[in-house]
């Protein structure tokens, strides 16, 4: 399974970066191959200062070795080895009318000292963070997510949509990071779902990503915007940073387990503002977004 999934994310990285370069028309992804001293490594690809994308990363990694102490404590195990691989991406467009997007698909195995698999699971998802709310964009993104889910279980979309709203939530702000999407974790073998069936589901979602996001980019990338709208985008990016550094489990684990810092923090946007006690004008488009972030919507 690990070989099958690692092969998949290598191919998916190629597909996604190629498509995003075509849309941008100017910038290309810089590739950085790296090795982890404890075992494994990855292939980081970053795009910057393009016509459309101000900064973005599409990274894959496959790491293995002794389970770090912080993760042993988290999983309440001792003296285990592990393998983990995944693809993680964050794209920050230049135009504030184009939403930021995040996606991640991952696979994990844990072994005893004899090398037997003790547990294994899939996780992942994809979610949208707009700065200006176009309801048709949110509906499109969620419809693609639902279509992918429905091919495998009619209950998946609502379950993982709700988990996404719960997870990507800035509790200290009382608002969601964005308009959500899907979030699933610890997808293990059960009587109703084999690991191969979970693989089929996760790859279905991964394959749906470009269909979910790129039509939105194409619709919005040429729209005009003002300096004030760009300022709002940078203020909202500050909320994005807050979530990633305060709440996100992947970021926190990466920092605690000697992860590669540049790959972990590639999700951070290049230009951000934190203004003291900032509130949007009443009745404005900016306030409209905030109200939706405070009360998750059933988009489809």
pLDDT at site 97: 98
pLDDT band at 256; cut points 50, 70, 90:
confident
Give start and end residues of each alpha helix (H) in 53-194: 69-75, 135-150, 156-167
Tens-place pLDDT, residues 11-67: 999 999 999 999 999 999 999 999 999 999 999 999 999 999 999 999 999 999 998
C-alpha separations of 296 from 30, 74, 176, 291 in Å: 36, 30, 8, 9
**Contact assessment for residue 202 and residue 194, using Cβ atoms and an 8 Å cutoff:** no
pLDDT digits (tens, 9 = 90+) for 96-136: 999 999 999 999 999 988 899 999 999 999 999 999 999 99
Q: Report the topology of domain 2-294.
A: oxygen-dependent coproporphyrinogen oxidase (3.40.1500)
Using DSSP's 3-state secondary structure scheme, residue 90 falls into strand
Longest dimension (CA), the chain: 63
> CB of 141 within 8 A of CB of 216?
yes
Q: How far apart are CA 217 and CA 235, in angstroms?
A: 21
Q: pLDDT band for position 76 (50/70/90)?
A: confident
Which one is catalytic: 92, 102, 140, 142? 102
Output the 3-class SS for 175-244. Answer: EECCCEEEEEEEECCCCCCCHHHHHHHHHHHHHHHHHHHHHHHHHHCCCCCCHHHHHHHHHHHHHHHHHH
Q: What are the sequence ranges of the domains in the chain?
A: 2-294
pLDDT band at residue 90 under the 50/70/90 scheme = very high
Predicted TM-score (pTM) of this structure: 0.96
Question: Does the annotation mark 92 as catalytic?
Answer: no
C-alpha 288/C-alpha 292 separation (Å) is: 7
Alpha carbon 155 to chain centroid distance? 22
């Amino acid at each position: 399974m690990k070989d099958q999934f690692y092969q998949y994310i290598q191919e998916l990285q190629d597909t996604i970066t190629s498509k995003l370069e075509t849309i941008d028309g100017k910038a290309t992804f810089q590739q950085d191959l790296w090795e982890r001293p404890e075992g494994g490594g990855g292939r980081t690809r970053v795009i910057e200062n393009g016509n459309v994308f101000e900064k973005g990363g599409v990274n894959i990694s496959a790491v293995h070795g002794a389970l770090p102490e912080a993760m042993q404590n988290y999983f309440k195990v001792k003296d285990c080895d592990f393998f983990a691989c995944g693809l993680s991406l964050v794209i920050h467009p230049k135009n504030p009318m184009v939403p930021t997007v995040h996606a991640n698909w991952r696979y994990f195995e844990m072994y005893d000292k004899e090398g037997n698999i003790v547990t294994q699971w899939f996780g992942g998802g994809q979610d949208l963070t707009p700065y200006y709310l176009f309801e048709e964009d949110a509906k499109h993104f969620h419809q693609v997510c639902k279509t992918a889910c429905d091919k495998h279980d009619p209950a998946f979309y609502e379950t993982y949509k709700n988990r996404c709203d719960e997870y990507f939530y800035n509790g200290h702000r009382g608002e969601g990071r964005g308009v959500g999407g899907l979030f699933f974790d610890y997808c293990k073998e059960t009587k109703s779902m084999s690991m191969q069936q979970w693989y089929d589901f996760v790859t279905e979602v991964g394959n749906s990503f470009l269909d979910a996001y790129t039509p939105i980019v194409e619709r919005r990338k040429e729209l005009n915007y003002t300096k004030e709208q760009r300022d709002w985008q940078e203020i909202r990016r500050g909320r994005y940073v807050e979530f990633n550094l305060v709440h996100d489990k992947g970021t926190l684990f990466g920092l605690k387990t000697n992860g590669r810092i540049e790959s972990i923090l590639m999700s951070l946007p290049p230009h951000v503002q934190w203004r003291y006690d900032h509130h949007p004008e009443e009745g404005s488009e900016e306030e409209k977004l905030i109200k939706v972030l405070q009360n998750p919507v059933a988009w489809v």
